[in-house]
Amino acid sequence: LTVLVLLNAGISTIENNAFAAFPYLLSVHLDHNTLSLLKRAYFSGWNKRHNSTVYLSFSYNRIANLEVGCFEEISYLAMLDLSHNLLSEVASGWFRGLAFLHTLILSHNKIEVISANSLNSLYDLRVLNLSHNPL
């Protein structure tokens, strides 16, 4: 399995280590669900193969918070879509360890604050979409 698509599936939580059983997983689309929080434990055990570009999409959920270091296990995360959620800030530590992230989509949230240093570890970031936020 390389691509997992569970759109509009009524998913409100993810089990810890949920993706560890899929060693070749490169793309996860959990859009149009009811997730409200993303935890580091959800991604624990994610495959760390080199040269594996990873895409995650959690758009159109109810995500209001991310656990600090949430995506650290996914070292080759390249694209992250958190658009159309309920995020009110971009907190320091959320994107820690994502040296290969080149696209971050945070549009259509409720973001009013971007914490100092919250994007410092995103060395390869080329696209940052913050449109439709009350900044």
pLDDT tens digits, 29-60: 999 999 999 999 999 888 666 567 799 999 99
Q: What is the pLDDT of residue 117?
A: 92
Exposure class string for 94-110: b at 16+ Cβ within 10 A, else e: bbbbbebbbbbbbbbbe
Domain residue extents for the chain: 1-135
pLDDT category of residue 73 using cuts at 50, 70 and 90: confident
From 16, 67, 66, 68, select the one nearest 46 (Cα to Cα). Answer: 16
Give me the percent of the chain exceeding a pLDDT of 70.
96
Q: What is the pLDDT of residue 37?
A: 98
Q: What is the pLDDT of residue 51?
A: 60
Residue position matching structure tokens 């991310």: 66
Q: What is the pLDDT of residue 22?
A: 87
pTM of the model: 0.95
Evaluate whether the domain defined by 1-135 bears CATH number 3.80.10.10: yes
Q: What is the pLDDT of residue 75?
A: 81
